């Protein structure tokens, strides 16, 4: 029964949420805290904060940890499978079908019409990241940071991995109270 | 060798991707397109499909791309490389992480990479617009772009309907 509940909780929150993992978190909260009462608000908040200290998708970290806490190793695998497997299967089936018929004229029309829609989705996502940066870093800093990023990645073709690695390192070693440290940021990127 | 490459590609992108799945999309694109696994166009199609389906995006992309390159085993490996490393860290380091969950350094880590992710996503958006403009011309491009923006952001229509509508329009008109 417990394993079934774990499956239901994570299947439902994943199938009802769109826009990637982070936007599904409130639905996970609803299942875990309100419906099944596996955790209270504070515990859930702590797990979320801890999940955010690590890289990678947030949803599977939450599912894995909560599943483990509630139902051991089986619970962990159960929660992750419920979160990701149904949509992966749908994805593979739908795209493989599309690719099979890609030489048909009307399928080509379909794939052409998708490109501007993807552009808009990415544009919206870009704006969300800019807004989130401005909230923490303010406008001048965000813009400066973005310009340096464009120059380094688009003109000098530096792999984003090095830039992100540098920024992460800087976030850790920068003295907590210093304002001076901010100036060296563009350089460290 | 292909299996190792699949594992490595998704391991690296997810270790660098702070801020959840969406932050890893441009990194996945870079790996996948540079390695020649998918073209820009194919990646865009996968992303459109991924965005119109519910659930986390990083695992959908990993599952599909892994399958495309290495069948079911490839798919499992790609998803494992996406999910396992950070989950294992979380389970084993819970005690230490708990102590630092409100630390300024940790908050800064997610914050500082955000503008860089915005640049990567912005470049992807620009490339999509540029591709589309040269494929279907300015008129159709603006029409589809503006309509889908309004439906997505103003009407707040579920993206699945927008993608379906675009597919229908493209199948009949383009």
pLDDT of residue B77: 96
pLDDT of residue A189: 38
Contact flag B14-A150 (C-beta cutoff 8 Å): no
pLDDT (tens digit per residue) in B17-36: 877 778 889 999 989 999 99
Task: Give the C-alpha distances (Å, rounded to integers) separating B101 from A11, A33, A121, B11, B97.
Answer: 28, 20, 31, 24, 6
pLDDT of residue A183: 41
pLDDT of residue B150: 94
Contact flag B58-A21 (C-beta cutoff 8 Å): yes
Q: Which of A2-6, A24-28, A90-94, A149-153 has the lowest mean pLDDT?
A: A24-28
Out of A50, A96, A164, the one facing B101 most closely (by C-beta) is: A50
CB < 8 Å to A153, chain B: 119-120, 123
- Answer yes or no: are the C-beta atoms of B87 and A79 closer than 8 Å: no
CB < 8 Å to A64, chain B: 83, 87, 90-91
Sign of CA dihedral A159, A163, A166, A172: negative
Q: Which of A13-22, A135-144, A179-188, B43-52 has the lowest mean pLDDT?
A: A179-188
The pLDDT mean for chain B works out to: 89
pLDDT of residue A19: 66
pLDDT-based confidence at residue B145 (cuts at 50, 70, 90): very high
Q: Residue B54: phi, psi to the nearest 5?
A: -75, 175
Q: A75 pLDDT exceeds 90? A: yes
The token pair that represents B36 in the structure block: 């020649």
Out of A106, A154, A171, the one facing B109 most closely (by C-beta) is: A171
Nearest to residue A168, comparing CAs of B110, B51, B43? Answer: B110
pLDDT (tens digit per residue) in A45-68: 888 888 888 888 889 999 999 999
- Identify the DSSP state of B40: H
Q: CB distance from B2 to chain A under 8 Å?
A: no
- Answer yes or no: are the C-beta atoms of B66 and B81 closer than 8 Å: no
Q: CB distance from B24 to chain A under 8 Å?
A: yes
pLDDT-based confidence at residue B78 (cuts at 50, 70, 90): very high
CB < 8 Å to B42, chain A: 99
The token pair that represents A177 in the structure block: 């109270």
pLDDT (tens digit per residue) in A151-166: 998 888 888 888 888 8
Share of chain B above pLDDT 90, in %: 43
pLDDT (tens digit per residue) in B94-132: 888 888 777 888 788 888 888 988 998 898 889 889 989
Q: A21 pLDDT exceeds 80? A: no
Task: Give the C-alpha distances (Å, rounded to integers) separating A159 from A125, B30, B43.
Answer: 21, 9, 19
Q: Is A159 left (phi over 0), alpha (psi -120 to 50) or beta?
A: beta
Nearest to residue B47, comparing CAs of B37, B57, B56? Answer: B57
Q: A177 pLDDT exceeds 90? A: no
The helix/strand/coil state of B174 is: coil
| Inter-chain CB pairs, A–B, below 8 Å | 338
Q: A180 pLDDT exceeds 70? A: no
Question: Global pTM?
Answer: 0.81
pLDDT of residue A181: 44
Q: CB distance from B173 to chain A under 8 Å?
A: yes
Task: Give the C-alpha distances (Å, rounded to integers) separating B154 from A59, B140, B148, B157.
Answer: 27, 21, 10, 8
- C-alpha–C-alpha distance, residues B120 and B127, integer Å: 11
- C-alpha–C-alpha distance, residues B96 and B116, integer Å: 28
pLDDT of residue A188: 41
pLDDT of residue A15: 86
Task: Give the C-alpha distances (Å, rounded to integers) separating A55 from A17, A100, A143, B74, B113.
Answer: 21, 35, 24, 22, 11
pLDDT of residue B167: 87
pLDDT of residue A33: 93
Q: A187 pLDDT exceeds 70? A: no
């Amino acid at each position: 029964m417990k394993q079934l509940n774990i499956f239901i909780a994570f299947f439902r929150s994943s199938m009802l949420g769109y826009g990637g993992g982070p936007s599904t978190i409130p639905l996970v909260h609803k299942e875990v805290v309100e419906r099944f009462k596996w955790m209270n608000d504070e515990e859930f908040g702590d797990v979320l904060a801890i999940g955010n200290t690590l890289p990678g998708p947030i949803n599977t970290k939450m599912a894995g940890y909560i599943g483990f806490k509630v139902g051991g190793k089986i619970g962990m695998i159960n929660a992750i499978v419920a979160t990701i497997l149904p949509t992966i299967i749908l994805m593979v089936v739908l795209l493989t079908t599309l690719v099979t018929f890609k030489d048909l004229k009307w399928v080509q029309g379909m794939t052409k019409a998708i490109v501007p829609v993807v552009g808009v989705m990415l544009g919206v996502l870009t704006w969300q990241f800019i807004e989130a940066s401005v909230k923490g870093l303010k406008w001048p800093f965000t813009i400066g940071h973005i310009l340096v990023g464009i120059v380094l990645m688009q003109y000098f073709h530096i792999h984003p991995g090095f830039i992100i690695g540098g920024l992460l390192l800087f976030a850790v070693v920068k003295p907590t109270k210093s304002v001076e440290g901010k100036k060296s940021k563009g350089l460290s990127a | 060798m292909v299996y190792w490459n699949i594992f490595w590609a998704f391991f690296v992108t997810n270790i660098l991707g702070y801020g959840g799945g969406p932050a890893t999309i441009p990194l996945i694109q870079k790996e996948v397109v540079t390695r020649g696994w998918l073209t820009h166009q194919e990646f865009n199609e996968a992303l459109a499909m991924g965005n119109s389906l519910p659930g986390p995006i990083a695992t959908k992309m990993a599952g599909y791309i892994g399958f495309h390159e290495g069948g079911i085993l490839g798919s499992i490996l790609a998803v494992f490389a996406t999910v396992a490393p950070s989950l294992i860290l979380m389970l084993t380091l819970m005690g230490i992480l708990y102590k630092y969950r409100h630390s300024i350094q940790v908050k800064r880590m997610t914050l500082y990479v955000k503008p860089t992710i915005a640049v990567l996503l912005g470049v992807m958006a620009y490339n999509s617009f540029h591709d589309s403009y040269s494929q279907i011309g300015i008129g159709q491009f603006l029409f589809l772009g503006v309509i889908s923006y309004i439906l997505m952001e103003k009407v707040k229509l579920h993206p699945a309907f927008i993608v379906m509508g675009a597919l229908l329009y493209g199948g009949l008109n383009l």
